[in-house]
Amino acid sequence: MVIATGNTAVLMPSEFATQVTVQFAKTLHEAGLPGGVFNYVTGDPAEIGDFLTSHNDIAAINFCGSPRVGQHVANIAAKSLKPVTLELGGKNPLIILDDADLDKALEAAMLGIFFFQGQACMASSRIIVESEIAKKFIPAFVEIAKGVKVGDLSDPETAIGPIISSRQATRVKSHVADALEKGATLLHGGEWVGNCCPPTILSDVTSEMVVFGEETFGPVTSIYTVDGLEQAMQLANDTSYGLSCAIFTSDISSAMKAATKSDAGMVHINAMSIQDEPHIPFGGNGMSGLGREGTDADLDIMTRWKWITIQVD
């Protein structure tokens, strides 16, 4: 959309994933895109990020990252009143009601938290299950986790590979350790394999635990048992984030009512929490970010309104 609206782009990738950007730039160049239209810069993220954010030739900013850095970017941009779009993550609930299709809910839970090592802003890091179906869901989900292969992703049988960095691995370990020290129950998890975190399932998680409110960004989820949809929605909204919410039930009418009560920017009924389609505005509320990405939602930040009149005598 940046280029389609007549702009040039400067992309600063994550310092942990620079080669993807390099290859993308080469592809655009080989396709005939004129030089200078798409640009990328790599290096120290703090130094370069502050420079780009405050530079007079940068007209607008689209940032994807942590809430802490997102707030920092917004503060710098505010000094020159630059428009900003922020995508900052989530603590996304997967709600499973008693009348849900158990097999589909299990599949959504597995993919929702173990996909890409749980390193997705829409990952189902909270699974909220109504009490009756919980009796079947929890043991079945634990059994699935036991069969998830961890290790080298070059092996097609492997589902969970290494965490993106040692710094992030330390964060994941600290979240789990804090929860266990404060009384959480480890339903599945255990020893790491190098930088690879095993599929980790917690229960008895309470609000004083870090993992309750903060995004872990790893294959770690917490299961909560509730009595009824109202209690489920109260728990789902008990977060500073508001990105994605998934609801599994056979009662679509109730699901639609719940969707209107959700604080999330995106609600998926009988589908996993990780969804992204280019024709749909993507984004969340609260600490999940500011603005929307995709389709016409991008136009407000990537274009400017101008009123031109001609006085005719």
Distance CA 307, CA 207 (A): 51
**Spatial contact of 179 and 159, defined as CB atoms under 8 Å apart:** no
Least confident of 147-156, 202-211, 289-298: 289-298
Q: How, if at all, do strands 93-96 and 84-87 pair?
A: unpaired
As annotated, the active-site residues are: 87, 121
298, pLDDT greater than 90:
no
**Spatial contact of 263 and 113, defined as CB atoms under 8 Å apart:** no
pLDDT band at 106 (very low <50, low <70, confident <90, very high): very high
What mean pLDDT comes out for the span 49-73? 95
CATH of 93-269, one of 3.40.309.10, 3.30.565.10, 3.40.630.30, 3.40.190.10: 3.40.309.10
190, pLDDT greater than 90:
no
What mean pLDDT comes out for the span 110-137? 98
The pLDDT tens digits for 224-282 are 999 999 999 999 999 999 999 999 999 999 999 999 999 999 999 999 999 998 889 99
Domain ranges across the chain: 9-88+288-302, 93-269
Least confident of 128-137, 184-193, 291-300: 291-300
65, pLDDT greater than 90:
yes
Task: Say whether 138 sits in a helix, a strand or coil.
Answer: helix
pLDDT band at 313 (very low <50, low <70, confident <90, very high): confident
pLDDT band at 83 (very low <50, low <70, confident <90, very high): very high
300, pLDDT greater than 90:
no
pLDDT band at 180 (very low <50, low <70, confident <90, very high): very high
pLDDT of residue 278: 83
pLDDT band at 297 (very low <50, low <70, confident <90, very high): confident
pLDDT of residue 173: 98
Could you tell me which of 248, 228, 245 has the C-alpha nearest to residue 236? 245
Q: Quick one: fold of 9-88+288-302?
A: Aldehyde Dehydrogenase; Chain A, domain 1 (3.40.605)
pLDDT band at 303 (very low <50, low <70, confident <90, very high): very high
Give alpha helix (H) positions in 85-165.
Answer: 102-114, 131-146
User: Residue 162 carries which DSSP code?
Assistant: -
What mean pLDDT comes out for the span 202-220? 98
Calculate the alpha carbon distances from 163 to 59, 118, 119, 147, 274 in Å: 34, 9, 8, 19, 19
Catalogue the long-range contacts made by 291-297 (C-beta closer than 8 Å, 24 or more residues apart): 291/84, 291/85, 291/86, 292/85, 292/265, 293/62, 293/85, 293/87, 294/1
Task: Say whether 181 sits in a helix, a strand or coil.
Answer: helix
Question: What is the pTM assigned to this prediction?
Answer: 0.94
User: What b/e string do you get for 118-135 counting C-beta neighbours within 10 Å, with b at 16 or more?
Assistant: bbbbbbbbbbbbbeebbe
Could you tell me which of 293, 248, 264, 303 has the C-alpha nearest to residue 134? 248
pLDDT of residue 171: 97
